[in-house]
């Protein structure tokens, strides 16, 4: 067994810890651990709309040791706790501007502190940090000039958890963006980077989470499902009924973030009431995405159906000190969100998450992002573009906007995507 894991490590070492320095990335590394570097940039990307602050985030990054996930957790927890004390101070909470800015940041720091709590499903921090972030976030959205609210959408088998952000207090039909998250991040993570910029431009927004995603996974114990139209169709039903006074049915956009690039595309092949589809970025074949980093040895165990040996080897790999943070995190988050303890089973599930034979059923304009430094879903946006041809526009973000999902560069993402939506929806005003 050992030999399998060790040779696996030899392969993985190529994509290892010090990549932030060696890969010549376009931004100054805030951690020598490339995965922590990405996570810290994600937090700092929330700065423009109250989701974080610069020096406190850099101070947290100073207290993080590359490869040490507990140090990452603690650094963000301490910042979250410290900021929460300020939010609770009645003198500071004298007006709604302070209230929402402070609580949005508290929520975001607690979410960051939760990133690596997946090794043990009974780790109480999985729920306690989440409750902290949710309470903080709800205080922030209640203090917005136009308050947002949570909506639970029961379906057959699970409940979708959504947040409705109306553009204004006036009842008027407007273009509306339905925003779906991906593999790990929360719908709350979209607020600073995409929801607030959409509201500022006159859109209504509904974010939502289905099985496998943060709130449904915690509250209902449900893992991901491949047939994501079971999530999107009830969401569209809701906005065209309960929210019909607000939603312009001819200008309804569906957005998929990261792994949402698979989920929302899959749903759009079955749900035809949307007007445009935005994939950031494309995911054609999830099994290909997650099996590419496997060594030849591990792949052989997987293909020959040796579940026990495969599971043991992956467990050993995740335990090994030298294994890159990205791999440890990806496996632990994958098992938790797909609700299985067996990596072998997880890979069998992933085979179903592909767009083969489905793209012809998507008949609305499609916009796809790709990034010069895309590492998670490298090459996938091009596969989706190839399958969709002229119906899809592929935008390559490069340089400092070229990380996975334009992390840290949501302003550039906004410039590009809202200009495209403006044309695609022929939006007046
Ligand atoms: C949170 O911060 C407060 C005040 O700064 C401190 O007294 C408390 O011990 C902290 N809690 C934890 C769990 O660290
Ligand atoms: C794609 O997913 C379908 C089920 O949704 C599955 O039957 C098929 O085998 C998968 N195709 C590939 C190439 O993995
Ligand atoms: C980045 O994209 C712009 C616009 O498409 C292009 O002009 C430029 O050459 C690209 N830079 C790199 C490094 O690919």
pLDDT tens track for 249-274: 999 999 999 999 999 999 999 999 99
Residue with CA closest to ligand 1 atom 12 = 81
**Position in ligand 2 atom list of the atom nearest CA 227:** 5
- Which CA distances in Å does 8 have to 217, 260, 293, 317? 30, 29, 9, 8
Which pair of tokens denotes residue 414?
């906004």
Q: Is the minimum distance from the CB of 356 to ligand 2 under 6 angstroms? A: yes
Task: Check pLDDT > 70 for residue 119.
Answer: yes
Indicate the DSSP class of residue 426.
T
Å from CA of 19 to ligand 3 middle: 23
Task: Report the SS3 class of residue 12.
Answer: helix
Using 50, 70 and 90 to split pLDDT, how confident is the model at 43?
very high
Q: Is the minimum distance from the CB of 358 to ligand 2 under 6 angstroms? A: no
Q: Which ligand has the minimum distance to the alpha carbon of residue 356?
A: 2
Percent of the chain with pLDDT over 70: 94
* Residue among 73, 76, 79, 81 whose CB has most ligand 1 atoms within 8 A, to mutate: 81
Mean predicted lDDT score pLDDT of the chain: 94
Å from CA of 191 to ligand 2 middle: 33
pLDDT tens track for 30-40: 999 999 999 99
The arithmetic mean of pLDDT across residues 210-235, rounded, is 98
Q: Is the minimum distance from the CB of 227 to ligand 2 under 6 angstroms? A: no
Task: Check pLDDT > 70 for residue 10.
Answer: no
Using 50, 70 and 90 to split pLDDT, how confident is the model at 4?
very low
d(CA 319, CA 241): 50
Q: Which ligand has the minimum distance to the alpha carbon of residue 225?
A: 2
For residue 23, the model assigns a pLDDT of 63
Task: Check pLDDT > 50 for residue 3.
Answer: no
- CA-nearest of 79, 122, 104 to 186 is 104
Residue with CA closest to ligand 1 atom 9 = 81
Q: Assess contact for 158 and 228: CB atoms under 8 A.
A: no
Q: Which ligand has the minimum distance to the alpha carbon of residue 129?
A: 1
Task: Check pLDDT > 90 for residue 17.
Answer: no
Task: Report the SS3 class of residue 354.
Answer: strand
Q: Assess contact for 221 and 339: CB atoms under 8 A.
A: yes
User: Which contiguous run of DSSP H or E holds residue 418?
Assistant: helix 410-425
For residue 16, the model assigns a pLDDT of 41
d(CA 352, CA 330): 18
Q: Is the minimum distance from the CB of 226 to ligand 2 under 6 angstroms? A: yes
Query: Can you spell out the DSSP letters for 360-400?
Result: GG--S-EEEEEETT--TTTTHHHHHHHHHGGGEEEEEE-GG
Å from CA of 180 to ligand 3 middle: 29
Å from CA of 76 to ligand 1 middle: 13
- Which CA distances in Å does 57 have to 1, 30, 44, 136? 41, 10, 7, 18
Q: Is the minimum distance from the CB of 56 to ligand 2 under 6 angstroms? A: no
d(CA 44, CA 427): 31
For residue 7, the model assigns a pLDDT of 39
- CA-nearest of 390, 157, 392, 184 to 381 is 392
Residues flanking ligand 1, CB < 6 Å: 81-82, 85
Using 50, 70 and 90 to split pLDDT, how confident is the model at 24?
confident
- Which CA distances in Å does 207 have to 46, 163, 327? 17, 5, 28
Task: Report the SS3 class of residue 159.
Answer: strand
Query: Can you spell out the DSSP letters for 30-60?
Result: S-SSHHHHHHHHHHHTTGGGTS--HHHHHHH
Task: Check pLDDT > 50 for residue 120.
Answer: yes
For residue 13, the model assigns a pLDDT of 39
When mean pLDDT is compared across 1-10, 104-113, 252-261, 349-358, the lowest value belongs to 1-10
Which pair of tokens denotes residue 115?
């990133």
């Amino acid at each position: 067994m050992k030999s399998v894991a060790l040779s696996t490590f030899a392969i993985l070492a190529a994509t290892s810890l010090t990549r932030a320095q060696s890969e010549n990335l376009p931004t100054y590394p805030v951690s020598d651990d490339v995965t922590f570097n990405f996570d810290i940039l994600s937090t700092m990307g929330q700065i423009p709309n109250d989701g974080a602050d610069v020096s406190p985030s850099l101070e947290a990054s100073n207290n993080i040791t590359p490869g040490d996930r507990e140090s990452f957790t603690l650094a963000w927890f301490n910042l979250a706790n410290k900021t929460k004390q300020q939010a609770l101070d009645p003198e500071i909470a004298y007006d709604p501007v302070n209230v929402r800015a402070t609580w949005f940041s508290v929520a975001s720091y607690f979410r960051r502190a939760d990133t690596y709590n997946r090794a043990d499903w009974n780790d109480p921090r999985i729920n306690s940090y989440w409750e902290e972030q949710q309470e903080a976030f709800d205080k922030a959205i209640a203090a917005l000039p136009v308050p947002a609210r949570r909506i639970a959408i029961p379906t057959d088998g699970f409940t979708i958890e959504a947040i409705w952000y109306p553009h204004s207090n006036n009842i008027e039909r407007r273009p509306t963006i339905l925003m779906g998250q991906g593999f790990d991040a929360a719908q709350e993570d979209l607020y600073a980077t995409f929801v607030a910029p959409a509201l500022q431009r006159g859109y209504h927004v509904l974010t939502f989470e289905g099985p496998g995603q943060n709130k449904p996974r915690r509250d209902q114990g449900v893992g991901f499902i491949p047939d994501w139209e079971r999530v999107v169709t009830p969401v569209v039903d809701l906005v065209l009924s309960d929210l019909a006074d607000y939603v312009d049915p001819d200008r309804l956009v569906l957005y998929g973030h990261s792994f949402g690039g698979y989920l929302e595309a899959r749903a759009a092949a079955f749900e035809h009431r949307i007007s445009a589809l935005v994939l950031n970025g494309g995911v054609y074949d999830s099994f290909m995405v997650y099996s590419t980093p496997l060594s030849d040895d591990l792949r052989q165990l997987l293909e020959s159906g040796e579940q026990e040996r495969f599971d043991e080897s992956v467990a050993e790999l995740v335990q090994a000190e030298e294994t890159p943070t990205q791999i440890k995190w990806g496996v632990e988050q994958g098992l938790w969100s797909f609700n299985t303890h067996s990596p072998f089973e997880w890979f069998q599930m992933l085979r179903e998450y592909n767009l083969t034979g489905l793209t012809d059923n998507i008949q609305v304009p499609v916009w796809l992002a790709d990034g010069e430094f895309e590492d998670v879903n490298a090459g996938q946006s091009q596969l989706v573009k190839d399958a969709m041809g002229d119906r899809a526009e592929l935008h390559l973000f490069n340089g400092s906007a070229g990380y996975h999902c334009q992390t840290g560069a949501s302003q550039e993402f906004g410039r590009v995507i809202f200009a495209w939506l403006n044309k695609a929806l022929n939006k007046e005003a």
